[in-house]
Chain A
């Protein structure tokens, strides 16, 4: 699905800035970033380590508040919301996927997914989502009984089950080998296409950029380059 100009805006960031204060040192992680994200858009964020990718993602996901600038989600100003409001925002609208899968080890695959479903207002059926990520038959396994790729797919299912409006993935394939990584990317793309969930993926792998609608390149806390893909490729087609 490619964005058109008519497509409604999901995120709108103006002069987004984040400065971490560590004792007497100030670390500017984001410097006046302007960004528009459309509904259902698929974006890949590239850039060297420390360039501010994760910081931006956390900001979009309501895990952090900006030091300056404004951030709006479907016209709702997130900049000044309190902890409780941001929690509800995450609960309703955002799905997160991390490099380390962060499954709850004491819950089975299905229960990990159900856990997110339980607190959401209008979730998808948990088994259906496990099926979507190709793990229907592993539903009753505990995380320790799953491979890395499988754990990551459970993490995706957990993020997807509440039918979020956006899926934020911080190096989701970082800890996986090539074939497993491709499998995970396919699942993500599948969710983006099938459910219309906007997808923002951070990666170190330049090639993955080819699968997105838009590629943003970051450096020193700024978006330094932006490119549109008219014909995104399927993950299986890219060279790892």
Chain B
């Protein structure tokens, strides 16, 4: 007995394979989203931890102006400190002959001989220095790849006002620079024009005149130590050497961006898979129910043969279990595949030497649980109702299903004009409102996902547009090695192609609002700045205050301040004054976390009348290359960035990671829309075979019969599209409010064209699903059913 039922189960699966595949794919997508996000989250976290541990990432960073190397013995004795290392760090200019602008670099000293050091190097090519390392350099892997530089090549570097070629002996990656940016004012890495590199201690000492001296200290702390206390002790000890204040790993720029991504992912991993899995579980539940209900006749026959209720229920539960299991397996496989693709992107984006890809068994177990659970639940509800039927019921010629008049019929003139096909469709949909609603909800979800995906695209566009057209209005930026006076402005204004120039000054500060503190740079601009648009929340330009600060939204959020609050500003340079300043405006910026003030105010903090660290330029585009080449020869210039290139680099980075996730989202939407409509139409085809056969006998053509089926799909699609659009807009709005890291926030934009595109996409999915069912209708002989009993 059992064996026969199992055979039937297998045959059921085979004959319903298209429907089963659609259902399995839906739940698989839900499971995949869970597995993808959790696996990526744990993968990136584990990779970071492993990288930091293996290459001994420092816990504390303490830059000073100049200190004797012997100070390290004192620092080592500070309670809580485990290991200390000193080094010489300098910004230099690199001349890459084939690019028209100067490139800048940062050199760090490492011991002449290889050994266990803090912030160790992962060598990807070449080896450590020979001899005392004079005129030798170990170059960052990313930069070497960017310019196809190899071990043995020479690199022309301007150090301490002297241009000299350095022989590349090794190429390496470092845990200190997983996200490589120049300084506080930068958001986006410029791998083409900025790099780090390592020189031997002996060579650094001689070339920078730092014999037996250092200007940067790295330290690790005991696990039990209080990092804040350790930092306070270090600051105290180093004060006399011009320390600008030690900071912990969590404030280190590169690490902060990496952690930002991890935290962002943790946040979305808590939401996105739940939404997706919820949608999938819902659709699965509905479809399993309908699948079982469509087998009503067979259930009656089993019951008539004397199979017990429990046996029949168990039979269908097996089917559900199989579907759930398949969904979980396919979903986990898909999820792991996506996660490995994301892992590859992360490895590149964060310049990791390795990526620890770990299979997150919890995610897979969770996916399995939800998948099997909801498949079973859907089947159970339906099969219980079906099994409760009197066995004779299913063998009697079925009474015609009861239909009634629908609401539409109140509109007499309209109803009169409708053909019988439209009437059949409308009455059929109205007769099973719960079922129609379920299908419509599925379509609504799919619509929302498509709309949401297109929103993300537009949000990026709006973000880039706001940041680089309305806010950063300059064409280029010239960064100096050291702060300079007004003369720098005049100097730059005379370079070829410069149409306008404005100074800017970045001052390192710690901003504090009670216990909330943030180390950052304040950007000083002229109060009548033309090249930087300070926009408030209604996108109106606001002027810089004489005696106050403006914060970007992200920074205001971090510090928990609003307009009108007062912040304590601890300047980390010069005489290190501590001031109290009001926040006069919170700016609607989407990229980065910045503070702004009047450049004259900032200069005064440094006891200067008017200094600048960089200059913004408006440039005649025809002179870009000429200008770049001219600036290469100015020893004061550390770097030049042209905005267009930055924007392009940013778009490239963003698009790479987005294309993948958008493809996944669209695939998911397609599977849901397709799965729901295909199953609805297939079940309709099975349930209404007699009706459709009758139409054919009367002389209706295949097309006319197909229209009745497709009409039902069309009505359900329209019913789903409307709430789907609303839901999609809401989802987008929620994301724009909820998703905010320090690196970026999403503006809320919704173009009508997106709605049109989403509707079109869903209609395409619907057409494909219907085309398949109609093809089936054409191939099957519907007249055949009329020759047999029901």
Say if A and B assemble together: yes
Chain A: residues with CB nearer than 8 A to chain B?
54, 58, 61, 63, 83-84, 87-92, 94, 96, 98, 100, 102-107, 111, 114-116, 118-120, 142-145, 151, 158, 162, 175
With contact pairs A106-B423, A111-B420, A115-B420 given, residues A144 and B698 touching in the complex (Cβ less than 8 Å): no
Stretch from B82-90, B203-211, B383-391, B393-401 that touches the partner = B393-401
The number of residue pairs between A and B whose CB atoms lie closer than 8 Å in the complex comes to 93
Which residues of B are found within 8 Å of A116, using beta-carbon distances? Answer: 698-699
- For B333-375 the 0/1 string (1 means CB < 8 A from A) is 0000000000000000000000000000000000000000000
- A107 and B790: CB pair below 8 A? no
Complex formed: what's the CA distance from A54 to B786 in Å?
Answer: 11
With contact pairs A107-B423, A142-B400, A144-B399 given, residues A87 and B696 touching in the complex (Cβ less than 8 Å): yes
- B787 and A58: CB pair below 8 A? yes
* Residue of A whose beta carbon sits closest to that of B419: A118
Q: How large is the interface on B (under 10, 10 to 19, 20 to 34, 35 or more residues)?
A: 20 to 34
Complex formed: what's the CA distance from A6 to B691 in Å?
Answer: 41
- B697 and A143: CB pair below 8 A? no
With contact pairs A88-B699, A90-B697, A144-B401 given, residues A105 and B691 touching in the complex (Cβ less than 8 Å): yes
A-B contacts, 24 listed (Cβ < 8 Å): A83-B702, A84-B701, A89-B699, A91-B699, A92-B699, A100-B690, A100-B786, A102-B690, A102-B693, A102-B694, A104-B424, A104-B695, A105-B403, A106-B401, A106-B424, A106-B691, A115-B420, A120-B699, A142-B400, A142-B404, A143-B403, A144-B403, A151-B400, A162-B699
Which residues of B are found within 8 Å of A143, using beta-carbon distances? Answer: 400, 403
Residue B700 CB within 8 A of the other chain:
yes
- A105 and B696: CB pair below 8 A? no
Complex formed: what's the CA distance from A32 to B423 in Å?
Answer: 44
Residue B428 CB within 8 A of the other chain:
yes
- For B271-288 the 0/1 string (1 means CB < 8 A from A) is 000000000000000000
Interface set, chain B 450-487, CB cutoff 8 A to A: none
The one of A90, A106, A142, A145 in contact with B698, judged by C-beta atoms closer than 8 angstroms, is A90
Residue B427 CB within 8 A of the other chain:
yes
Q: 19 extra interchain contacts, Cβ-Cβ under 8 A, other than A58-B783, A102-B693?
A: A84-B701, A90-B697, A91-B699, A92-B699, A100-B786, A100-B789, A104-B695, A105-B400, A105-B402, A107-B423, A111-B420, A115-B695, A118-B419, A118-B420, A119-B704, A142-B404, A143-B400, A144-B399, A151-B400
Residue B315 CB within 8 A of the other chain:
no
Which residues of B are found within 8 Å of A94, using beta-carbon distances? Answer: 699
Complex formed: what's the CA distance from A122 to B670 in Å?
Answer: 46
- B397 and A175: CB pair below 8 A? yes
Interface centre among A84, A102, A103, A142 (most CB of B within 10 A): A102
- A100 and B697: CB pair below 8 A? no
The distance from the CB of A98 to the nearest CB of chain B, in whole angstroms, is 6
The distance from the CB of B79 to the nearest CB of chain A, in whole angstroms, is 85
Complex formed: what's the CA distance from A111 to B405 in Å?
Answer: 12
- B787 and A115: CB pair below 8 A? no
The distance from the CB of A20 to the nearest CB of chain B, in whole angstroms, is 11
* Residue of B whose beta carbon sits closest to that of A61: B697
Complex formed: what's the CA distance from A90 to B701 in Å?
Answer: 10
- B691 and A104: CB pair below 8 A? yes
- A104 and B694: CB pair below 8 A? yes
Q: Is the interface of A mostly helix, strand, loop or mixed?
A: helix
* Residue of B whose beta carbon sits closest to that of A62: B699
The distance from the CB of A215 to the nearest CB of chain B, in whole angstroms, is 23
- B424 and A144: CB pair below 8 A? no
Interface centre among A90, A105, A175 (most CB of B within 10 A): A105
- A107 and B424: CB pair below 8 A? yes
A-B residue pairs, 6 tightest by C-beta? A91-B699, A143-B400, A115-B420, A105-B400, A106-B427, A90-B699
Residue B431 CB within 8 A of the other chain:
yes
Interface set, chain B 652-704, CB cutoff 8 A to A: 690-691, 693-702, 704
Which residues of B are found within 8 Å of A104, using beta-carbon distances? Answer: 420, 424, 691, 694-695
Interface set, chain B 409-451, CB cutoff 8 A to A: 419-420, 423-424, 427-428, 431
- B700 and A119: CB pair below 8 A? yes
- B786 and A102: CB pair below 8 A? yes
- B787 and A142: CB pair below 8 A? no
Which residues of B are found within 8 Å of A102, using beta-carbon distances? Answer: 690-691, 693-694, 697, 786
Complex formed: what's the CA distance from A116 to B700 in Å?
Answer: 8
- A107 and B427: CB pair below 8 A? yes
The distance from the CB of B1 to the nearest CB of chain A, in whole angstroms, is 26
- B701 and A111: CB pair below 8 A? no
Complex formed: what's the CA distance from A88 to B700 in Å?
Answer: 8
The distance from the CB of A150 to the nearest CB of chain B, in whole angstroms, is 11
- A63 and B403: CB pair below 8 A? no
